[in-house]
Amino acid sequence: MIKEEIFLLKEYEISKVTHEWCESNDRWIYIEYNAQSKIIGLNFMQGDEYDYFKKSWCHNNQGLTEFYHSMIYTFPIEKASVNTLEFINKVMWAYHNATLDPKSST
């Protein structure tokens, strides 16, 4: 049992972090990877203010990350048809729309 717990801890241990600018979507993306290069954390900020992004958005958004992982298994053909960053952007738009407060759009 202890070996399994250690593996699970290592699976969620951050090995690498990247900041990706997506001009076509006008957003900065924060991505955490584990040692197996699996995405274990995501966040994003609309707009190009990199200093503000680094200060306020460079942390894992657990809800978005869980949504991303569910989309990998829900839409494997879509994931396979585009590069990883394009798929992440599609997931982010879907997450944003799904969590948008309907009162704020009126």
10-residue stretch averages of pLDDT, the chain, 106 residues long? 55 91 97 95 97 97 96 93 96 92 62
What per-residue confidence (pLDDT) applies to 11?
76
What per-residue confidence (pLDDT) applies to 1?
52
Q: Which of 74, 63, 19 is nearest to 45 (CA)?
A: 19
Domain range list for the chain: 12-100
**DSSP structure class, residue 23:** G
Q: Which of 62, 61, 52, 59 is nearest to 27 (CA)?
A: 52
What per-residue confidence (pLDDT) applies to 27?
97
The reported pTM is: 0.84
What per-residue confidence (pLDDT) applies to 82?
96
